[in-house]
Amino acid sequence: MNQHFDWDLDKLSKNQQKIANFIEKNTNRIAYLTEQEMADQVRVSIASISRFWRVIGYKNFKEFKQMLADNPDITPAYKIQNLINKVDGEDLPGQMLKLTCMASCSYFEGSIEATVSQ
């Protein structure tokens, strides 16, 4: 899932930009990662990850994860409603299946990329 965050990439250091890009591309996986796992995947130090949270306005990774969990835009109900809103109604089941498969393939590909990059 790609989610828009309100950080200005131009004001972040090179490592912070790498972290921000990783988060934007892997938002749905963040809840399941540790800071060390994220550091390994982004190829930055764990200290860079820890500093990043303060730069973007959070005390720590736990607080950032809580914000993600509290965000209604990433709940399963929101995702289903968003999916339903994307179909035109003529072949609702077929279109929903197609969109779901596309989303699943995208998530699967992201998981494969993350696994390969480890």
- The amino acid at residue 3 is Q
Nearest to 35 by CA among 53, 52, 49: 49
Q: Which tens digits make up the pLDDT trace of 65-80?
A: 998 888 766 556 656 6
The answer to whether the pTM exceeds 0.75 is no
What is the CATH class of 1-70?
mainly alpha
Residue 34 has pLDDT above 60, yes or no: yes
- The amino acid at residue 5 is F
Q: Which tens digits make up the pLDDT trace of 11-32?
A: 999 999 999 999 988 888 888 8
Average the pLDDT over 99-117 and give the result: 65
Structure tokens, 96: 């929903």
Instruction: Compute, in degrees rounded to 10, the torsion defined by CA atoms 83, 84, 90, 96.
Output: 40
Geometric angle at alpha carbon 67, from 63 and 69, rounded to 5° = 115
What 3-state class would DSSP assign to 66? helix
> Distance between CA atoms of 23 and 52, rounded to whole angstroms?
11
pLDDT grade for 2, boundaries at 50, 70 and 90: very low
* Per-residue pLDDT at 98: 72
Domain positions in the chain are: 1-70, 75-118
